[in-house]
Amino acid sequence: MGTINIFRTTAVLLAVVTCSSSVEDKAHWRKIALDDITRKLYHTPNTRVAKNVVLMIGDGMGISTVTSARILKGQLKGKAGEETFLNFEKFPYTGLSKVYSQDYQVPDSAATASAMMTGVKTNSRCMGVDGLAMPGECRNLTERRLNGMGHWANDAGKSTGFVTTSRVTHATPAAMYAVTTNRDWEDDRSVPKNTGSPYCTDIAWQLIHNNSHMNVIMGGGSANFVPTTASDPVTLRSGRRLDDTNLIEVWKNDKIQRNANYSKAYNAKQLEDIDPANTQYLLGLFASSHMAYELDRNKEPEGEPSLADMTRKAIQVLSNNDNGFFLMVEGERNDDDCNIN
Ligand SMILES: *[C@@H]1O[C@H](CO)[C@@H](O)[C@H](O)[C@H]1NC(C)=O
Ligand SMILES: *[C@@H]1O[C@H](CO)[C@@H](O)[C@H](O)[C@H]1NC(C)=O
Ligand SMILES: *[C@@H]1O[C@H](CO)[C@@H](O)[C@H](O)[C@H]1NC(C)=O
């Protein structure tokens, strides 16, 4: 049965490709070039100050992955594929950056996301510190810690938030809010104890205790916020924390104490039902660990929202602030095969 299906799919794809790839003459290619150059020549730079900033990160999304995505997009529309554009490829400005970290040619998300957020390269596994901080060493970091876009936006009176399909404590989102020399300290299980360092706290703890200004937090990783003695609201199994602290309750109590409107969501329906006009703070946790790939996602109301659903709701909530907002959106696990993500 499976084999037959695979052959059928292959046959359909081949047929689509053969029928649609038409041969173009020289006028076709020269027109594309002329249109491109004309567009660039007549492009007027926008010199106004941006009110809102949305940083979208495709984790591990290198050029070869972008190429595959572009071809698939075209083929799904019955074309050959290569001639298609992803939407962001038509932005007026594009560029490439060198994403090495201070200590690795092939870096990890911690150091690279930290560089995107702060503008400063650092060692792999580290976030929110400069390159003089040693991986795994959490003493003497006061001089090493860095602020980044999330803090700058907050200082400018803007709302801030992030959505991700990874755990909200994973390296890319954590680079927006955590100060740590070990990306693996997502909950309190492996953090060195009794060091006396204010930076030897786990990433989930830092998100709730050190970033209470953050308006929108959405993604997976609920287990890192719930102790082993309590039930994870997403899975109804026990959480991972050893410190007997329920950080979701801490988050909620902080908002109550500050008389702020808040909403929580643990599935797609609950997220959809949230009225953004009455929500200053939104915490959405939709999986105990990473969220599912879009293809595998449970699309029922009690399942997970899509990255697009989360992004839409985040923009609505953050738009309550007339001063604007900073939002980070991460599509995670593009590079899952290579294990460093
Ligand atoms: C941290 O600083 C203190 C002095 O301020 C010094 O004695 C100690 O060796 C330093 N520790 C590390 C790990 O650098
Ligand atoms: C987080 O907050 C605690 C107090 O609540 C403070 O001691 C610590 O320095 C803060 N950590 C960071 C990374 O700012
Ligand atoms: C908070 O909720 C109340 C009651 O729904 C509403 O009147 C108020 O405008 C809300 N405030 C914000 C800042 O969303």
Q: What is the pLDDT of residue 81?
A: 96
Q: What is the largest CA-CA distance in the chain?
A: 72
Per-residue pLDDT tens over the stretch 95-111: 999 999 999 999 999 99
Asked if residue 212 has its Cβ within 6 Å of ligand 2, the reply is: no
* Residue 216 banded pLDDT, cuts 50, 70, 90: very high
Pairwise CA distance, residues 239 & 189, whole Å: 12
Q: What is the pLDDT of residue 337?
A: 54
Q: What is the mean pLDDT of residues 52-64?
A: 94
In this predicted structure, the answer to whether residue 9 has a pLDDT above a threshold of 50 is no
* Residue 21 banded pLDDT, cuts 50, 70, 90: low
Placement of tokens 């954590």 in the chain: 174
In this predicted structure, the answer to whether residue 2 has a pLDDT above a threshold of 80 is no
Report the atom number in ligand 2 closest to the C-alpha of 206. Answer: 1
Nearest to 107 by CA among 3, 183, 37, 218: 183
User: 64 an active-site residue?
Assistant: no
- Are the CB atoms for 222 and 192 separated by under 8 Å? no
Q: Walk me through the domains of the chain, giving residue ranges and CATH numbers.
A: 4-51+63-90 (no CATH), 109-334 (3.40.720.10)
For residue 202, the CA-to-ligand 2 centroid distance in Å is 11
| Lowest model confidence (mean pLDDT) among 31-35, 81-85, 196-200 | 196-200
Q: Which DSSP letter does residue 327 get?
A: E
Asked if residue 261 has its Cβ within 6 Å of ligand 3, the reply is: yes
- Own/partner contacts of 251-254, CB < 8 Å, gap of 24 or more, are 251/208, 251/212, 251/283, 252/283, 254/208, 254/212
**Which residues, at least 6 apart from 227, have a Cβ–Cβ distance to it below 8 Å?**
238, 239, 240, 241, 242, 243, 244, 245, 246
Nearest to 306 by CA among 318, 319, 317, 291: 291
Pairwise CA distance, residues 200 & 138, whole Å: 6
* Residue 333 banded pLDDT, cuts 50, 70, 90: confident
Report the atom number in ligand 2 closest to the C-alpha of 179. Answer: 13
Pairwise CA distance, residues 322 & 325, whole Å: 9
For residue 204, the CA-to-ligand 1 centroid distance in Å is 26
Q: What is the pLDDT of residue 131?
A: 97
Pairwise CA distance, residues 176 & 154, whole Å: 12
| Lowest model confidence (mean pLDDT) among 52-66, 162-176, 314-328 | 52-66
Asked if residue 140 has its Cβ within 6 Å of ligand 3, the reply is: no
Asked if residue 192 has its Cβ within 6 Å of ligand 2, the reply is: no
Q: What is the pLDDT of residue 179?
A: 97
For residue 101, the CA-to-ligand 2 centroid distance in Å is 26
Q: What is the pLDDT of residue 334?
A: 84
Here the tokens at position 245 are: 């602290």
Asked if residue 210 has its Cβ within 6 Å of ligand 2, the reply is: yes
151 labelled binding-site residue: no
| Cα 61 to Cα 38, 131, 171, 288, distances in angstroms | 30, 24, 15, 24
What ligand is nearest to the CA atom of residue 254? 2
Q: What is the mean pLDDT of the chain?
A: 91
Q: What is the mean pLDDT of residues 241-268?
A: 98
In this predicted structure, the answer to whether residue 339 has a pLDDT above a threshold of 90 is no
Residue nearest to atom 8 of ligand 3 (CA): 278
Nearest to 20 by CA among 75, 57, 59: 75
Q: What is the mean pLDDT of residues 172-182?
A: 97
- Are the CB atoms for 149 and 326 separated by under 8 Å? yes
Here the tokens at position 194 are: 């009794």
**Which residues, at least 6 apart from 102, have a Cβ–Cβ distance to it below 8 Å?**
111, 121, 122, 123, 124, 131
- Give the active site residue among 109, 114, 124, 159: 109
What ligand is nearest to the CA atom of residue 181? 2
For residue 200, the CA-to-ligand 1 centroid distance in Å is 15
For residue 179, the CA-to-ligand 1 centroid distance in Å is 18
- Are the CB atoms for 290 and 165 separated by under 8 Å? yes
| Lowest model confidence (mean pLDDT) among 16-25, 217-226, 311-320 | 16-25
Asked if residue 312 has its Cβ within 6 Å of ligand 1, the reply is: no
Q: What is the mean pLDDT of residues 16-31?
A: 76
Pairwise CA distance, residues 277 & 280, whole Å: 8
Q: What is the mean pLDDT of residues 218-247?
A: 97
Q: What is the pLDDT of residue 180?
A: 97
Do you know the residue count of the chain?
A: 341
Residue nearest to atom 10 of ligand 3 (CA): 278
Placement of tokens 């071809």 in the chain: 71
- Are the CB atoms for 113 and 101 separated by under 8 Å? no
Q: What is the mean pLDDT of residues 169-193?
A: 96
| Lowest model confidence (mean pLDDT) among 13-27, 74-88, 238-252 | 13-27
For the question of whether the overall pTM of this predicted structure is more than 0.95, the answer is no
What is the percent of the chain where pLDDT is above 70?
92
